[in-house]
Amino acid sequence: MKKLVIFLFLFICNGLLATAIDVATIYYPHCNSNLIENKSEHQEWTNWAIIKDAKPIFKGHLQPKRPYLNYPNSVNPKHVSLEIDLAKNNGIDVFIFSWHWNKGVQEKKGVIEQGFLKAHNNEKMKFAVMWENQNIKTSEQNVLNVIDHFINNYFNKPNYWKIKDEFYVSLTSPNTLITQLGGVEKTKRLFAKINAKLQKANLTKIHWAGNCRSKNEAEKLAQAGFSSTFVGSVSPIDTECYNEKITKKDILFDYSEIMKTSEKIWKEMSTSSLPNIPTITQGYDATPLNKTIKSTYCPIVINNTSDKFEKLLLSAKSHIKTNSLPAVIISAWNNWGYGSAVFPECIEGMNFLRAISRVFTPNRETLTFATTFLHNKLCELPQPDFHLKYATYGKNSIDFWKAKNGKKLAPTIVYCHGGGWTHNSNLDMRLIKLFELRDHGFNIAAVSYRFTQEVKHKVYPPVKAPMQDCANALALIVEKAQELGVDTSRISLTGGSAGACSSLWISLNAGKKLDSGRIIPKVKMISVIVPQTSLDPVQMREWIPNSNYGWHAFNISGFNEFVKKRNSILNTINEYSPYALLSPEKNKTKFYLFNKYKPCVNQKVKDPTHASAFCIKFKEKCDEMKISCETIFVKDDWRASIENMKKNL
């Protein structure tokens, strides 16, 4: 009995420790509408213009970045409220706001006062300040004025972040402050004076944190009265290979170097004079801010995929067990100008935030996410029963939800999302609509795959990557059928637009070997919405005179060039064009093609990418070859497809 009590006590303690880690992320105010600083004209300006104008400077350079929620405005409380829900529901506890004060005036103001604190749900999220003091001159009186501002505006809020019951305030350049105040002793006396001021206001002390990378510097900060250290961001300049690479004019640094450097800093600082809060940096790429790139000035981190980021999160969590402060800092929430943001964007979607949630809140029951096409709301689904990796690349994964009926083996819907193979993610509105099928005894699998712009410098044609990715995902599901509860005789592929095209391609290549060595499985049926059934530009123009789709799938810069090069690459086009792949022996899978537009061929249409002609011409060829194919033209095409799978799978 005594052993049982001890075991339960230790179990509870471990559970409390597991949930006691504060996950903070640095929030940058750059991307809000504001008046141009140091300009006489009152011109509205937003940093998003710079982000949108970024240009790739090497093959495989993923610029510009395109965030979800339509470039949110940091001083708009409605926008910030979405950010709060998105962050909090994915394991983030604290926004540390990058904060500017110079010569007695708060710069870049409004993000906390107008955006965050006026958000209706702001108390869900703790907040703190990181004073960007690196390029300013200050004095004792200026610091006291800053503290007055904190007392009147921040410290009186119940959700201001505290460490050991002390207000957390960090400085990006603590040595600058110490030097300008006249040294260690004068800084220490000022901190004591500030604490007395706070005590008089019935407030607790300040926990001063300094941006610091060395034990010697930490010793100096300890003498000056600082409480802890952190690193604002781990960048290429911190790596051991920096000088060697820059000397060779090599500006590309693999994320593995950032991982190794981060862990080295944590280990060294854990034995310093002050406790250190480990920082996990998402990436580094300042090219949006530097139109003329100089190799010695602008190093770039590459291959910072979400799976590597998750490994670094796990390493930080393990490191905290030996650290006196149970907190981590993630750099950053939205530092787009420097290429460091866990906020969802076009390429990785929600993957970085989901990694944070898996590591720090693994028992969370609800998955909260943003999507490409919804700008003013978030979505929710149950957490998947399985999160499977079908390849080593970061986003090559499957979210799998088991049917609710509890049967051992169930029919399974495999969803390949649309988005032109260039955007969107497996978490979208169509997936949400599919979820009703779980209540009717269906498993749901949603595939995340690579986009053409991610691979066009190394895979030809680029469309091969997303198509083979989806096929690999299907193959893994079949391999793990018993574990997942999949009836392999009752699988349907579904998807819209590009995802529909991929679904058709998979079914028409059943039995073939993929580059991974896996064999593409056969499926019972295909139920797809607004599919592109041909990728042949001449054929598309014959069917739809204003067609302008598909050139990016073959790494071509526009449709006119696509037409010019068509004959020279026709064999390759036909390998990925469902219409060209149709043959009499491909008649074991039943095809259902849904389209919301009225039947129309050889006419210009409003939406040529999703024209009904794709369905009509595909069925004509199926009929000629006596292949089972139905085309259904109905306004609510997705609803019709769901009912079709419910009935026929």
- Give the pLDDT confidence of 465-487 residue by residue, as tens digits: 999 999 999 999 999 999 999 99
Mean pLDDT of all residues belonging to the chain = 93
Bridging pattern class, strands 590-595 and 629-633: parallel
Q: Who contacts 74 (Cβ-Cβ below 8 Å, separation ≥6)?
A: 27, 29, 31, 32, 80, 110, 111, 115, 334
- Which ranges in 386-522 belong to alpha helices (H)? 429-434, 452-455, 464-479, 481-484, 498-507
Which is nearest to 154 in space by CA: 130, 133, 128? 128
Q: Is the model's pLDDT at 586 over the cut of 70? A: no
Amino acid present at 388: L
- Pairwise CA distance, residues 546 & 543, whole Å: 9
pLDDT at 323: 73
Q: Who contacts 102 (Cβ-Cβ below 8 Å, separation ≥6)?
A: 136
Within its chain, how far is the Cα of 488 from the centroid? 32
pTM greater than the 0.85 cutoff? yes
8-state DSSP, 383: P
pLDDT at 45: 60
Domain boundaries, the chain: 20-369, 402-648
311 Rama class: left (phi>0) / alpha (psi -120 to 50) / beta = alpha
Neighbours of 513 (CB within 10 A): 10
The fold adopted by the segment(s) 402-648 is Rossmann fold (3.40.50)
Which is nearest to 174 in space by CA: 213, 141, 145? 213
pLDDT at 292: 53
8-state DSSP, 304: -
Identify the band that residue 373 occupies on the pLDDT scale cut at 50, 70 and 90: confident
- Pairwise CA distance, residues 231 & 360, whole Å: 20
Residue tagged 């193979």 (tokens): 421
Q: How far does the chain reach from its first CA to its final CA, in angstroms?
A: 53
What would the mean pLDDT of 252-262 be, rounded to a whole number?
98
| C-alpha angle 108-148-170 in degrees, rounded to nearest 5 | 60
Q: What is the CATH number of domain 20-369?
A: 3.20.20.80
Amino acid present at 141: Q
**Buried residues in 383-400 as b, exposed as e (16+ CB within 10 A):** bbebebebbebbbbbbbb
Residues forming beta bridges with residue 96, ordered by sequence position: 26, 128
Q: Who contacts 31 (Cβ-Cβ below 8 Å, separation ≥6)?
A: 46, 47, 48, 51, 71, 72, 73, 74, 334, 336
Identify the band that residue 291 occupies on the pLDDT scale cut at 50, 70 and 90: low
Q: Are 557 and 515 in contact (CB under 8 A)?
A: no
Q: Are 404 and 612 in contact (CB under 8 A)?
A: no
Neighbours of 271 (CB within 10 A): 10
- Pairwise CA distance, residues 401 & 351, whole Å: 17
Phi, psi (deg, nearest 5) at residue 590: -90, 130
pLDDT in tens, 396-424: 999 999 999 777 899 999 999 999 999 99
Identify the band that residue 6 occupies on the pLDDT scale cut at 50, 70 and 90: very low
CB neighbour class for 431 (10 Å; exposed up to 12, middle 13-18, buried from 19): buried
Residue tagged 């460091």 (tokens): 340
- Pairwise CA distance, residues 1 & 3, whole Å: 5
Cis peptide before 201 (omega within 30 of 0): no
Q: Is the model's pLDDT at 440 over the cut of 50? A: yes
- Pairwise CA distance, residues 298 & 13, whole Å: 46
What would the mean pLDDT of 345-374 be, rounded to a whole number?
95
Coil, strand, or helix at residue 466?
helix
Percent of the chain with pLDDT over 70: 93
Amino acid present at 478: V
Of 137-146, 222-231, 468-477, the range with the lowest mean pLDDT is 137-146
Identify the band that residue 322 occupies on the pLDDT scale cut at 50, 70 and 90: confident
Q: Is the model's pLDDT at 343 over the cut of 70? A: yes
Q: Who contacts 528 (Cβ-Cβ below 8 Å, separation ≥6)?
A: 493, 494, 495, 496, 499, 500, 503, 504, 592, 593, 594, 641
- Pairwise CA distance, residues 388 & 6, whole Å: 36
Which is nearest to 331 in space by CA: 432, 430, 211? 211
The arrangement of strands across the sheet holding 629-633 comes to 386-389, 397-401, 443-448, 410-416, 486-496, 525-529, 590-595, 629-633
Q: Is the model's pLDDT at 182 over the cut of 60? A: yes
Phi, psi (deg, nearest 5) at residue 29: -90, 10
